[in-house]
Amino acid sequence: MFENLSERLSGVFDRLTKQGALSEEDVKTALREVRVALLEADVALPVVRKFVKDVEGKATGQAVTKSVTPGQQVVKIVHDELVEMLRGEGDPGELKIDSPPAPILMVGLQGSGKTTTTAKIAKRLTERDGKKVLMASLDVNRPAAMEQLQILGTQVGVDTLPIVKGETPVQIAKRAKTQASLGGYDVYFLDTAGRLHIDQELIAQAADVRDVVQPRETLLVVDGLTGQVAVEVAEEFDDKIGVSGVALTRMDGDGRGGAALSMRAVTGKPIRFVGTGEKVDALEEFDPERIAGRILGMGDIVALVEKAQETLEAEQAERMLKRLQKGQFNMNDLKSQLEQMLKMGGMEGLMGMMPGMGKMKGQMAEAGMDDTVLKRQIALINSMTKKERANPQILQASRKKRIAAGAGLEVSELNKLIKQHRQMSDMMKKLGKKGGRGALKQALGMMGGGKGGAPGAGMDEKALQQAAQQMGGLGGKGGMQLPSGLSGFGRKK
């Protein structure tokens, strides 16, 4: 969603950082472009004015003009102000679910993704925080709304309140409260009905439910694609019902992202979650620093690490680590690394999270480097026998022809894959000899251990950029050169 804004801003800052010294005029010219970029991204005018004024006040001081790298200093100031704009006053912290059973009221307009978001958050609380969660649909108007929540509950492994026809929303809320207390639940979600627009009946219904259950959190779900209307909806709901946080959906769409940037500044309500897709696991906690980093093309290593942690099984990584220490790296190992990349969002997803790599996405698309390259390589490995995968050295001309034909590809592509495997195998052997287990752990990105250490585990930005540049060789003339740390970069923060 932030791609256009990100491209505009990175162009402005590229010009700034290339200049040795900056005058006040240079900064003002750059900020004029920043103002236009933000307005085009549908950010509210008062928010843009305040943002540009605050940046200008800090960026034209002596500390910047006399700095060794004034351009980078300005980028840092813009980043900090962007974080400030997204965060607002005070950190909202975790969801308030400390006194079980904690009721969470979900409100919003029809079609904003309320029911799906309810299931996504419930799944997150169940899997990440080990909470026992109950979901109840209070939407008695929309046909099959209750069944939809029931189906989602089955999908994500979360209990739903049994459906009793003919009950009012308040009666359902009371029954949910009773069942949550008797069933030993930590949290129960109340998914209220929506309307196409805000009307008295909608507000009255949600207010009645609020009075009955006294929710610990009232989360407003708004469609990120609706732009400034989303901000108006948030203000209206907060005024009539009281909202403690916002969940923005469809942040994977092609909207302009202005709603997210304006929401906190205009309403004063924190954005808690962002929906990044249709699937039940496509939900992220809203972190102002990480979002600001993505907008300014600084990448999001923490998200990359978290994705790796979610997709990499500790036991599988430990097994691979033992094999690599003995200098063993066969085609099965390479296949699991390629599959790992696809699970983590493919090449485009990984590039978007790596510092400074956002700009390469366009070049990659032009060069035809996308996830099909990975899928073709996996197809080649699948076309090999068990013996060939375990021992690629035995691949001679006749075997190569058979494998390539089996995958429907050319022998030249198989040769690139073999060359790439050889390069990675040599690299793993060197790591095993030089730094032993520690160096290999860093290369593999062993995620199983939980919460110690810092993201990147010692891999600085330069190392990550080099790794990403190596990825630039994908599908090119020199074959596909993957970086060593495909399974993630160090431990989660």
pLDDT averaged over the chain? Answer: 74
Closest residue by Cα to residue 241 from 215, 276, 271, 275 = 215
pLDDT greater than 60 at residue 459: no
Residues 52-85 have pLDDT tens digits of 888 888 777 666 656 556 667 777 788 888 888 8
Could you give the percent of the chain with pLDDT greater than 70?
A: 68
The strand pair at 271-275 and 283-285 is best described as antiparallel
Per residue in 235-284, pLDDT tens?
888 888 888 888 888 877 666 667 777 777 777 888 888 888 888 888 88
- Band the pLDDT of 27: cuts 50, 70, 90: confident
Q: Is the pLDDT of residue 134 over 90?
A: yes
Q: pLDDT tier at 488 (50, 70, 90 boundaries)?
A: very low
pLDDT of 233:
83
What is the Cα–Cα distance from 47 to 296, expressed in whole angstroms? 18
Q: What is the pLDDT of residue 89?
A: 65
The H-assigned helical ranges of 133-199 are: 145-156, 169-182
The reported pLDDT for the residue numbered 451 is 35
Of 263, 220, 257, 229, the residue nearest 86 (C-alpha): 263
**Tokens 């909207």 sit on residue:** 255
Are the C-beta atoms of 156 and 131 separated by less than 8 Å? Answer: no
Residue 32 has pLDDT above 70, yes or no: yes
- Please tell me what DSSP assigns to residue 344: T
Per-residue pLDDT band for 471 (boundaries 50, 70, 90) equals very low
3-class secondary structure, 209: helix
Compute how many other C-beta atoms are within 10 angstroms of the C-beta atom of residue 483: 20
Identify the residue with better confidence: 76 or 104: 104
**Residue 71 token pair:** 């351009």
Closest CA to 302 of 122, 468, 453: 453
pTM above 0.75, yes or no: no
List, edge to edge, every strand of the sheet that includes 187-191: 159-160, 133-137, 187-191, 102-108, 217-223, 245-249, 271-275, 283-285
Res 285 pLDDT > 70: yes
Write out the DSSP string of 258-300.
HHHHHHHHHH-PPEEEEE-SSSTT-EEE--HHHHHHHHTT---
The residues, ordered by sequence, that sit 6+ positions from 299 with a Cβ below 8 Å of its Cβ are: 293, 352, 353, 354, 355, 356, 357, 358, 464
Please give the pLDDT value at position 360.
Answer: 56
CA 200/CA 103 separation, integer angstroms: 23
Confidence category of residue 136, pLDDT binned at 50, 70, 90? very high
Chain Cα centroid distance, residue 345? 10
Average pLDDT over residues 428-452: 51
How would DSSP label each residue in 179-230?
A: HHHHTT-SEEEEE----SS--HHHHHHHHHHHHHH--SEEEEEEEGGGTHHH
**pLDDT given for residue 259 in this prediction:** 72
pLDDT higher than 50, residue 484? no
Would you say residue 468 has pLDDT above 60?
A: no
Please provide the distance, in angstroms rounded to a whole number, between the alpha carbons at the two ends of the chain. 26
Q: Is the pLDDT of residue 215 over 50?
A: yes
Q: What is the mean pLDDT of residues 295-311?
A: 58
Q: Answer whether residue 135 shows pLDDT above 90.
A: yes
Quick one: pLDDT at residue 361? 56
User: For 409-438, what is the mean pLDDT?
Assistant: 76
Q: How confident is the model over 42-60, as pLDDT tens digits?
A: 788 888 888 888 888 877 7
Q: Average pLDDT for residues 229-236, to the nearest whole number?
A: 82
64 or 211: which leads in pLDDT: 211
What is the SS3 assignment for 121? helix
